[in-house]
A and B are shown apart, each in its own frame.
Chain A
Amino acid sequence: MDAFPKKVPNAKGHFGPYGGRFVPETLMPALIELETAYKKYKKDRNFLNELTLLQKDFIGRPTPLYFAKNLSNTLGGAKIYLKREDLCHTGAHKINNALAQALLAKKMGKSRIIAETGAGQHGVATATGAALVGLKCEIYMGSEDIRRQSLNVFRMRLLDAKVTDVNVGSKTLKDAINEALRDWTTNVQNTHYVLGTAFGPHPYPVMVRDFQSVIGNEARKQILRLEKRLPDCLIACVGGGSNSIGLFSAFLEDQTRMIGVEAGGRGISSGEHAARFAGGSLGVFQGCKSYLLQNDDGNVLGTHSVSAGLDYASVGPEHCYLRDMKRIEYTYATDEKALRAFELLSRTEGIIPALESAHAIAEAVKTAPAMPKDSIIIVNLSGRGDKDVQEVARIKGIAL
């Protein structure tokens, strides 16, 4: 495979026909300022040392690469390793990016950071970063999500963040992003927007990928140490696509097969899903050109997934590009399959995964049995399931 991934994006933030910058002109100077600062600090020794130290002592990196022996034996095929991002401080990979951006915002002289959140994980991670580096913080969250994730709302408030209810549109993640962008447009001089995934206007997709690439860089070293060879297959769930691109980016030039798993919701034919590749078409949404779930008039459709973190109408532009290049395959897991995988991992390994990550486990359940016993799969266990237990109990009709 050629070294093409290093050539994207180009100076305009284009990954082939995807990506770019589709924002109000008011934000352009801020995006250029961010791009300039990011280019400077990603080569700045002091910044990198500071970040590395925080990754180690604050986030708890490197996260283990754990051989899931019981799950592997149960499925009876490939050896399954789990990259334990669920063991990160605050419970998911989101902190890798949020903390790095908070640190960058501080270096840029901003006094305030804002973020959107769906399930609350990125909101908690950003509030945590703000508390650590000493910045004011405001989190936008759809009122529907506030209702479903009251625990995370309280966590953010404990961390001294202001949580603002977004009561327009579908009252979920995409509306929270619109509102965060409106805030940024208004307060651009003193505020940095900590976008939570490898999406949006340039430089976010590349910057978030880079901040999450620590996942793949660690996993590559760990598997070479443990197995003396590269894995045969990588599996990760894809919402906006930051945990997956974080893992995959370190293996793009290898022969390793890679599978991204979208949210199949109640099935593609039901229309109630968030499988952008299976059910979407090319569009421009919230700052970039990508695959989008939209109607014939170009209005964005409502989405559904049991997992709030995958419940989004579009997907990171680099994923579209790598799909076109046939470097990454994309599939989906339905709510039902994800819930079954959620229970399977809990039962066999004593690990309760986030419902997002359960989508990746569901794909391993499908793929592993057909693979030889000595083959290796790495699944990115992007987050832990504590936040989801109430929702799963509700779905199962169990009163807590």
Chain B
Amino acid sequence: MNKIENVFKKLKQTDRKALISYIMAGDPDLDATKKFVAELEEAGADIIELGVPFSDPLADGPTIQRASERALQQGTTLRKVLALVREIRQTSQIPLILMTYYNPVFKFGIEKFVIEAASAGVNGVIIPDLIPDEADDFIAVARQYKLDTIFLLAPTSTLERIKKVVKASTGFIYYVSITGITGAELSINDPMKNTLNLIKDNTNKPVAIGFGISNPEEASEISKLANGIIVGSAIVKRIAGEKDIKEFTRSLRDAI
């Protein structure tokens, strides 16, 4: 069984939910990222997502856009993020997911990327602008190297899209809580819950909810609806403000 799936399975046995924390690799620099990964793990994160900066992050709100700009200014590249993962793997076995836009992967070479990511110790990949319809090559090679392919669904998703995404996803399914971009205001409404129920009716794979979760109260409420929660912008904002992320992560862990 792949590592990510295992996390969800183990948590389920004790009726707990997964805390997935996102940070932007290279913000403010790669050494700091390494330190943050250790802090997040210590504070109780179950899975860590590392953002790979891109010049045009069209699915991201202002907080992650700015983090991406800072990381690029530091010279952070996909290649360097893969090297960082190798380094992290010397001291930590926490499941790691890369979240990157498609063009850096495409330019790197899809097969080469999958091989290098898997060998560096990456467990899964999220590419917000790659839909399963365009991902045949990526999925095929990712299966071969046991890299999880995590695709996204949204409150706008139709049954046809849900079936397609559920089939293409391994590890978990990333449910975007809002029709919007990262860091937007959370709203737990009927369309959001209805689509979520439709997803659950169509799969036994774990579902994690992200976009817009900014405090322990929201984390608690959202975690009741799924197998895990993803918190990104709220952590990235703390990093930008040079605030502690350990206590905050602990408060999220305690809330879910």
A298-B179 in contact (CB<8A): no
Residue of A22, A29, A32, A181 most packed against chain B (CB within 10 A): A22
Main secondary structure of the interface of A (DSSP, over half): mixed
**Which residue on A lies nearest to B59, using beta carbons?**
A24
B77 at the interface (CB under 8 A from A): yes
Write out the residue numbers on chain A whose beta carbons fall within 8 Å of the beta carbon of B62. 168
B149 at the interface (CB under 8 A from A): no
Residue of A29, A32, A168, A284 most packed against chain B (CB within 10 A): A284
B180 at the interface (CB under 8 A from A): yes
**Which residue on B lies nearest to A179, using beta carbons?**
B58
A24-B58 in contact (CB<8A): yes
**Which residue on B lies nearest to A282, using beta carbons?**
B106
Given known A-B contacts A29-B158, A284-B102, A284-B106, A169 and B180 have beta carbons under 8 A apart = no
User: Please, how many angstroms separate the alpha-carbon atoms of A61 and B204 in the complex?
Assistant: 58
Smallest CB–CB gap between A183 and chain B, Å?
9
Report the count of interface residues on A (CB-CB < 8 A): 39
B106-A186 in contact (CB<8A): no
B181-A186 in contact (CB<8A): yes
Write out the residue numbers on chain A whose beta carbons fall within 8 Å of the beta carbon of B69. 168-169
**Which residue on B lies nearest to A26, using beta carbons?**
B154
User: Please, how many angstroms separate the alpha-carbon atoms of A284 and B101 in the complex?
Assistant: 9
A28-B131 in contact (CB<8A): yes
Q: What bracket does the count of chain B residues touching chain A fall in?
A: 35 or more
A298-B107 in contact (CB<8A): yes
B152 at the interface (CB under 8 A from A): yes
Pick the contact of B134 from A21, A26, A29 — CB < 8 Å? A21
Pick the contact of A26 from B57, B65, B78, B179 — CB < 8 Å? B179
B103 at the interface (CB under 8 A from A): yes
Residue of A189, A281, A298 most packed against chain B (CB within 10 A): A298
Provide the B47-69 mask, 1 if CB < 8 A to any CB of A, else 0: 00000001111110110010001
B122 at the interface (CB under 8 A from A): no
Smallest CB–CB gap between B190 and chain A, Å?
14
**Which residue on A lies nearest to B80, using beta carbons?**
A297
Write out the residue numbers on chain B whose beta carbons fall within 8 Å of the beta carbon of A25. 128, 131, 151-154, 157, 161, 165, 176
Write out the residue numbers on chain A whose beta carbons fall within 8 Å of the beta carbon of B61. 182
B179-A185 in contact (CB<8A): yes
Q: Which residues of A contact B (CB under 8 A)?
A: 12, 20-26, 28-30, 32, 168-169, 174-175, 178, 181-182, 185-189, 281-287, 289, 292, 294, 296-300
Q: Which residues of B contact A (CB under 8 A)?
A: 54-59, 61-62, 65, 69, 72, 77-79, 102-108, 128-131, 133-134, 151-154, 156-158, 161, 165, 176, 178-181, 184
List 8 A-B pairs, Cβ < 8 Å: A12-B133, A24-B58, A24-B154, A25-B152, A28-B161, A29-B157, A182-B61, A284-B129
Q: A23-B131, A284-B106 are in contact. List 11 more A-B contacts (CB 8 A).
A: A22-B102, A23-B129, A25-B151, A26-B152, A26-B156, A28-B157, A169-B69, A174-B56, A175-B56, A297-B79, A299-B55
